[in-house]
Structure 1
């Protein structure tokens, strides 16, 4: 039989190392059309690219403009034209910056422009617009926005809108409209806050409606429970040692009115010093009781029960 074998010359042939050296640089081309061209950016930030820097750039560009509506809207449209999607987060941060700087006219312009684009239709945007209109004394527009929101979101309207409208009417002395908003709160079963109860109670007292004043405080007493955060947990704690804030306010006013016409004597000074010392001791006892109660009730039930 025939067999195939390697020749001894091929096996004994030594291997040679070959080194390949190249001095050319590799250039990656896109679809064999050459390198991608670079164009200068229109909205280039100074520090870094992000929503914070973009919001600062937007605020800076808006502040330099006049109060003409077309000029402001044109600048905002040119800003949005270079974005693939509407920059809602950037605009919200710009509104927060303007609110911190109390630029109420710019807040009204930017919010109305954003709502006209169909973006940012949230309760936060509406409340920001309502607050800015109230600060600018544009009461007619604020009332129009309030009626629109009340008709559209009757049962889901947050309580802070009612509180804001009551405070607006209370500052301007419009008691009839304030009572109407408070009546709407009662019809919609929205529990008023302590500040609203005190404002409405003061108006009842000024108008000498003592029967309604007493009914108001009987119907809406202060809450018996409060919530505190202990070691990162929300704990419900019963309020002890704290009397009614409204009653304290009434007692102070009544004491001032009763003691305004009295003659100051040495005996009255001594009694006032005694009452101040007793009050100091009572406040110290209350603080000690609260600290002990927090430590004892830190691991109680976490179920929320606001209306108890």
Structure 2
């Protein structure tokens, strides 16, 4: 193997020297701290603590009310043409300030958006919540179905019902069932309406509102199923005959007033008789 003259000279000098001294010097070099370490150690601990930024510094110094207002303003300023990633990114950045998922603040935001009839934005916020595993309640599901219906996306509302709710009809609240029946009725999806009502009847679910029966009966009639309409109207006829008796407060007040007025007169008559 060919070696250059300088390399051969260096090898011979190292072989003649004391190898232990070389190892000792190398270990001393490794044990010495680097320049960056010495510089960081030379900084006083007080200055080092002042330079460190605490975790969630921004979020802890902004009140929850201001953070909620900031998100609501951000969602209002965004256009409907903004992508799903932009909306989800804004929500992710906002929720990063919180240690726990702010489900209460989001419900207030959804109520504000519902008053402003921003149905498209409501759908985006609720879908983002569900993607995080939050808000999986019947109330949130109903709010999403209503927003999809008002946003002219009844097909998505139907798919969501079939996937998340329609598979367990024996425990779905009647309020949510009435909402879906109304969605089907309003969008002329009569076959789906009848199928849903038959599924509820299969679990012996008894409706409490005559408006549900009226919509079902009208759906049967428009589908040409007159016998089914008559069956439903006869089975639930008691809902149309029940009259709510509401006591009048005025009558109660008058009777009490008469008693008060009649009290001293009766006492006078009793004293006269005596």
TM-score scaled by length of structure 1: 0.56
Aligned pairs (5 A) from 1:280-299: none
The answer to whether structure 1 residue 116 and structure 2 residue 112 are counterparts is no
Gaps of 5+ in 2: 1-44, 256-274
Give the 3 Å change call, closer, same or farther, for CA 106–216 of structure 1 in structure 2. same
Gaps of 5+ in 1: 1-31, 226-237, 241-285, 296-308
The answer to whether structure 1 residue 171 and structure 2 residue 186 are counterparts is yes
**Stretch moving more, 170-179 or 93-102:** 170-179
Counterparts of 1:289 and 1:210, CA distance in 2: 44
Aligned pairs (5 A) from 1:153-168: 153-168=168-183
Counterparts of 1:93 and 1:203, CA distance in 2: 37
Counterpart residue number, 2:149: 134
C-alpha contact (below 8 Å) 2:170/2:205 kept by paired residues: no
Counterparts of 1:122 and 1:151, CA distance in 2: 14
C-alpha contact (below 8 Å) 1:194/1:222 kept by paired residues: yes
More helix by share: 2
Counterpart residue number, 1:96: 111
Structure number with larger C-alpha Rg = 2
**Count of residue correspondences:** 201
Counterparts of 1:291 and 1:239, CA distance in 2: 17
Q: Spell out, residue by residue over 1:148-194, the C-alpha distance to the aligned partner (whole angstroms, 9 max, x if none).
A: 12355342211122212211121122221111111111112222221
Aligned equivalent of 2:70, options 43, 57, 75: 57
C-alpha contact (below 8 Å) 2:148/2:156 kept by paired residues: yes
Counterpart residue number, 2:163: 148
C-alpha contact (below 8 Å) 2:103/2:134 kept by paired residues: yes
C-alpha contact (below 8 Å) 2:220/2:228 kept by paired residues: yes
Counterparts of 1:154 and 1:207, CA distance in 2: 24
C-alpha contact (below 8 Å) 1:224/1:239 kept by paired residues: no
Counterparts of 1:150 and 1:85, CA distance in 2: 27
**Stretch moving more, 209-218 or 188-197:** 209-218
TM-score scaled by length of structure 2: 0.63
Counterparts of 2:224 and 2:127, CA distance in 1: 42
Counterparts of 1:214 and 1:289, CA distance in 2: 40
C-alpha contact (below 8 Å) 1:149/1:157 kept by paired residues: no
C-alpha contact (below 8 Å) 1:170/1:178 kept by paired residues: yes
The CA RMSD measured in Å over matched residues stands at: 3.3
Give the secondary-structure state (helix, strand or coil) at the position aligned to 1:109.
Answer: helix
Give the secondary-structure state (helix, strand or coil) at the position aligned to 2:239.
Answer: coil
Give the 3 Å change call, closer, same or farther, for CA 289–187 of structure 1 in structure 2. farther
Counterparts of 1:94 and 1:57, CA distance in 2: 11
Counterparts of 2:133 and 2:50, CA distance in 1: 36
C-alpha contact (below 8 Å) 2:119/2:148 kept by paired residues: yes
Aligned equivalent of 1:216, options 209, 228, 232: 232
C-alpha contact (below 8 Å) 2:181/2:193 kept by paired residues: yes
Counterparts of 2:137 and 2:227, CA distance in 1: 40
Counterparts of 2:164 and 2:59, CA distance in 1: 39
Counterparts of 2:226 and 2:88, CA distance in 1: 52
Counterparts of 1:89 and 1:102, CA distance in 2: 20
